[in-house]
């Protein structure tokens, strides 16, 4: 079985939507294996633009989509997203969307505590989306989460709510925020049951059967390696493991079934929210990258911070993420710049290092060490072959390959799905 896992190799927003759409059209099943509705993929199909946060991209291509147990699921967000894409003419139902029965749910109290904590942090805020993702993962680990399967057992939901409210109402009161009444929450949660339970199943069984049947499965990651709760720029990270290794745990399959791992990276670097960003540009070039690249978060709408390509950071993501091939996006944004810079290391307290350290103060102190490369005058936009690229653009891509120690498997030259240079077929195994 030739499967493919897609992960981000920077801080997210690398243009995964186009790539996962292209691969989803060739897969039989698409699985979301981590994250929540704090991440988004924008898919452009003909004259329609779909903005997905929870739905696996495969549903846009008429394929089976699965939301794995590694996701934390906000029922209201999912139902709203389904209604939105249905209004665009897309058919979504239990026939083409399945949800792992053991998927934890995000409740209204999770977003309330998320927002109250961020407000209490003041200038030290992490920059969360305030959508309750982190608190929902905390409840999962603390063994008090309400899961999708619980909706079929009202007594179980009632019992779990007692423990949840004891914990969260105490925190909310301490932060000066409004607390929750059990009966109101209970009615809301049980109201989800008839709408969500038809989607529920033991998806690990379906995936095991798919393995036996030789089906092509694509595992769709959210965010990116440098936002991984273990391997990213902690604490300015998401609340789940974003590396490809989590596809196994987050979907319910063995690690041998993950297949080829592709890492998505822009030809420059962006980041949304707080946290270290060694190559960030505060000048006209940074502004130009943001304008040309339309750099606004798919989910939050927040402007992205922009900077030069950080090969040191992407190399780190390649190593810990298990990336076998790089997908380089938005090369066309660099068209016409007289010179480009690539970060090849950091100077930290007078010492040259080749990795971004784990400690907060060291991360904040990291100053980029650059290699300068001549830009190109021609256009790369819409190129579909290496021959259509300016020679200097090819040189830039080849240098990135050398520095990150991974081959470029796909090269994207515009938002259009077909404007892609394919070096090798990820589904070939």
Number of domains in the chain: 3
- Is there a single domain that holds both residue 213 and residue 66? yes
Whether 41 is catalytic: yes
How far, in Å, CA of 423 to CA of 303, rounded? 32
In angstroms, what CA-CA distances link 139 with 97, 109, 192?
25, 11, 19
Range of the domain at 166: 108-196
Give me the percent of the chain exceeding a pLDDT of 90: 79
Q: Over the stretch 263-304, which tens digit does the pLDDT of each residue have?
A: 999 999 999 888 999 999 999 999 999 999 989 866 666 789
Q: Report pTM.
A: 0.92
Residue 6 has pLDDT above 70, yes or no: yes
The CATH number of the domain where 225 resides is what? Answer: 3.40.440.10
Whether 21 is catalytic: no
Domain boundary among 156, 178, 196: 196
- Is there a single domain that holds both residue 168 and residue 288? no
- Is there a single domain that holds both residue 273 and residue 244? no
Give strand ranges (E) for 53-203.
64-67, 97-100, 200-201
Q: Which of 13, 74, 228, 332 is catalytic?
A: 13
- Is there a single domain that holds both residue 72 and residue 114? no
Region 65-86 average pLDDT = 96
DSSP labels, 294-358: T-B-TTT-PBPEEE-EEHHHHHHHHHHHT-SEEEEE-GGGGTT-SEEEEEEEEEETTEEESS--S
Region 65-82 average pLDDT = 97
Record the tokens describing residue 103, joined without a space. Answer: 């998927």
Residue 183 has pLDDT above 60, yes or no: yes
Chain centroid offset of residue 174 CA: 32
Domain boundary among 260, 279, 297: 260
Region 187-212 average pLDDT = 97
State the DSSP code for 279: T
Bigger pLDDT: 199 vs 59: 199
- Is there a single domain that holds both residue 15 and residue 160? no
Record the tokens describing residue 299, joined without a space. Answer: 């989910």
- Is there a single domain that holds both residue 324 and residue 400? yes
- Is there a single domain that holds both residue 60 and residue 140? no
Residue 161 has pLDDT above 90, yes or no: yes
Centre a 10 Å sphere on the Cβ of residue 350 and count the other Cβ atoms it contains.
5
Confidence tier at 232 by pLDDT (50, 70, 90)? very high
Confidence tier at 321 by pLDDT (50, 70, 90)? very high
Q: Over the stretch 343-370, which tens digit does the pLDDT of each residue have?
A: 999 999 999 999 999 999 999 999 999 9
- pLDDT of res. 159: 96
Q: Which of 41, 110, 168, 231 is catalytic?
A: 41
Residue 246 has pLDDT above 90, yes or no: yes
The CATH number of the domain where 290 resides is what? Answer: 3.90.170.10
DSSP labels, 16-69: HHHHHHHHHTT-SEEEE-SB-TT--EEEEETTEEEEESSS-GGGGGT-EEEE-T
């Amino acid at each position: 079985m030739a499967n493919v896992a897609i992960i981000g190799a920077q801080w997210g927003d690398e243009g995964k939507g186009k790539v996962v759409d292209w691969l989803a059209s060739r897969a039989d099943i698409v699985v979301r294996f981590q994250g929540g509705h704090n991440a988004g993929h924008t898919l452009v199909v003909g004259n329609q633009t779909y903005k997905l946060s929870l739905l696996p991209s495969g549903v846009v291509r008429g394929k089976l989509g699965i939301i794995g147990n590694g996701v934390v699921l906000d029922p209201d967000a999912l139902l709203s997203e389904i209604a939105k894409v249905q209004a665009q003419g897309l058919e979504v139902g239990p026939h083409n969307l399945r949800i792992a029965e053991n998927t934890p749910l995000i409740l209204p109290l999770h977003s309330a505590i998320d927002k109250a904590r961020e407000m209490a942090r003041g200038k030290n805020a992490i920059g969360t989306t305030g959508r309750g993702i982190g608190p929902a993962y905390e409840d999962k680990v603390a063994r008090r989460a309400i899961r999708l399967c619980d909706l079929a057992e009202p007594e179980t939901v009632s019992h779990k709510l007692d423990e949840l409210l004891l914990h969260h109402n105490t925190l909310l009161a301490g932060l000066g925020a409004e607390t929750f009444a059990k009966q109101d929450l209970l009615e809301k949660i049980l109201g989800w049951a008839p709408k969500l339970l038809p989607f529920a199943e033991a998806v690990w069984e379906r995936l095991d059967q798919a393995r036996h049947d030789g089906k092509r499965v694509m595992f769709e990651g959210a965010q990116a390696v440098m936002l991984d709760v273990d391997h990213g720029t902690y604490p300015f990270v998401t609340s789940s493991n974003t590396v490809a290794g989590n596809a196994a745990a987050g979907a319910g399959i063995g690690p041998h079934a993950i297949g080829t791992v592709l890492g998505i990276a822009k030809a420059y670097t962006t980041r949304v929210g707080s946290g270290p960003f060694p190559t960030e540009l505060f000048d006209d070039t940074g502004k130009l990258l943001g304008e040309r690249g339309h750099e606004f978060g798919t989910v939050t709408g927040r402007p992205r911070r922009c900077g030069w390509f950080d090969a040191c950071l992407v190399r780190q993501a390649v190593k810990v993420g298990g990336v076998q091939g790089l997908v380089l996006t938005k090369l066309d944004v660099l068209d016409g710049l007289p010179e480009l810079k690539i970060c090849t290391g950091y100077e930290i307290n007078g010492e040259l290092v080749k990795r971004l350290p784990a400690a907060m103060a060291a991360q904040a102190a990291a100053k980029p060490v650059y290699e300068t490369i001549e830009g190109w005058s021609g256009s790369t936009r819409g190129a579909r072959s290496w021959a259509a690229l300016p020679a200097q653009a090819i040189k830039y891509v080849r240098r990135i390959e050398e520095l990150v120690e991974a081959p470029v498997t796909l090269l994207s030259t515009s938002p259009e799905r077909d404007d892609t240079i394919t070096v090798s077929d990820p589904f070939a195994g």
